[in-house]
Structure 1
Amino acid sequence: MTVRGLITDWGGVLTTPLKETITAWIEADDIDPDAYKLVMREWVDQAYAGDGAVNPIHGLEDGSLSPAEFERLLAERLRTRTGTPVPADGLLTRMFLAFEPVEPMYDALRRVKSAGVRTCLLSNSWGNTYPRELFAEMFDAVVISSEVRLRKPDPAIFHHALELIGLSPEECAFIDDIEHNVRAAEELGITGVHYVDATSTVARLEGLLGISLS
């Protein structure tokens, strides 16, 4: 079936990679990297375990935990390299301060939408400030996890996005930098595109959509 709709993640796809962003924050705030890795490994594994357990990442993404409470819980587990506490207030803002837009992806999405392909942003929010003033020219619909009380990889959030753009799973492709989310979309019949870089992703989209994006 012809791909008539495109659903895409935001952080790590339309922004610079999460790893680079977090590294910049760790250096700027003098965070002990081992402490950060320990808590993130634990929380991320729990968040994607699929066993129904709720943890801080899960709660932050589906809106059941406030960003301020997440900041408090994370700050409790962190230390600077010199062993001092990490301020909780504004922690999420500082974490993602180095996010920069990936302009080739923004340009590609504008061309995709202009070509008549239905487009939707589907983002697991970490209390992020989104450039919403740019979304109208790129997206027909926007789904932010904390606003709809659902999160990827829950099938329900994919079905919600599909409903908003009025297409079936088989008519859509989905881009994400987290392979687990891509596999979840594919299980529903959506064509998965695992984002590694803009160049390869744009080339893949040109093949799927049959339009030039360069």
Structure 2
Amino acid sequence: MITTLLLDVDGVLQFPRRPEFVDALERDHAWRDGYLAFQAELFADPEYLATLSGRADVLAVTDRLLARHAPSLTGRAFMDRWLAEDIVLNGELIAQVGELTVERVYLATNQEPIRGAHVERLHAHPWLTGVFASWQLGRAKPDPAYFERLLDATGLPAAECLFVDDKEPLVAAARGVGLHAAHYTSNDLLLAEFRRYGLASAGEAPDQR
């Protein structure tokens, strides 16, 4: 029996606002190779990856990379704008989660401290039980230790938890430690998964608000 839902954030509960955000940022700053080249380098940077487990400072990383890509932009200014302008909430899914028959709902997300704090404020939904950000646990998905530390903190057996993520390797990692897991590709297909696990009624339709 599933009593607890573990939801990824980026790619599930929220999405990036492309291409509007990219166009606006490139209009306002001179980029050496364009914003997306910077983003790709940022997400692949070993020090940035270390920020996700709380072992490095994201502002120091972005300052270092922006000095080459867009010298007029500081790490702090970039982070403020990224958080304010490049997130679109998945309102339909958020409404659906509030209607599920489940005892607990946690966010299970890879985040560094600045973005993690923003995510907590943004997703302070009435149905939310708590947040497990990777930087707080000291490990990031798909490291099995991320899931093990989450389970230790809650005291829940893996068999009672359903983890949802948009990235298949992370779904596979969750299954590897005994969690039930669903690969998110759309709201409708995820709702079908919720029904399969008995968390939503068979007649429930997606919220169109």
- Using structure 2 for the length normalisation, give the TM-score: 0.78
Instruction: Map Cα deviations across residues 10-63 of structure 1 (whole Å, 9 max, x no partner).
Output: 122111x23xx35333211117595554455456457xxxxxxxx133122112
User: Any idea what the Cα deviations from partners look like across 1:67-117, whole Å, max 9, x if unmatched?
Assistant: 3112213313424xxxx65443321232242312211221122223xx243
Matched, 1:118 2:118: no
**Structure 2: runs of 5+ lacking an equivalent:** none
Task: Give the aligned length.
Answer: 196
Is 1:68–1:89's contact at 8 Å kept on the other side of the alignment? yes
Q: Equivalent pairs: percent with the same residue?
A: 21
Question: 2:91: which partner in 1?
Answer: 103
**8 A Cα contact 1:152 1:181, kept in partner:** yes
Q: Provide TM-score, normalisation by structure 1.
A: 0.76
- Do the aligned partners of residues 179 and 34 (structure 1) sit closer, same or farther apart at CA in structure 2, a change above 3 Å counting? farther
State the alpha-carbon separation in 2 of the partners of residues 175 and 33 from structure 1: 37
* CA RMSD, Structure 1 to Structure 2 (Å): 2.7
Once the two structures are superposed, the pairs formed by residues 3-18 of structure 1 within 5 Å of their partners are 3-15=2-14, 17-18=15-16
1:154 Cα deviation after fit: 1.6
CA 1:121–1:33: 2 relative to 1, 3 Å: farther
2:23 aligned residue: 27
CA–CA distance in 2 between the matches of 1:98 and 1:164?
Answer: 31
Deviations along 1:122-147, whole A, 9 cap, x unmatched? 11114221253753622223111222
CA contact (8 A) 2:33 2:69 kept: no
Letter in 1 for 2:111: S
1:58 is matched with 49
Task: Pick the aligned partner of 1:140 from 92, 109, 129.
Answer: 129
Residue matched to 1:92:
79
Please tell me whether residue 174 in structure 1 is matched to residue 163 in structure 2.
yes
CA 1:22–1:153: 2 relative to 1, 3 Å: farther
Structure 2 residue aligned with 1:75, among 66, 80, 95? 66
Name the CA shift for 1:121/1:75 in 2 (closer, same or farther; >3 Å).
same
Structure 1 gaps of 5+ residues are 47-54
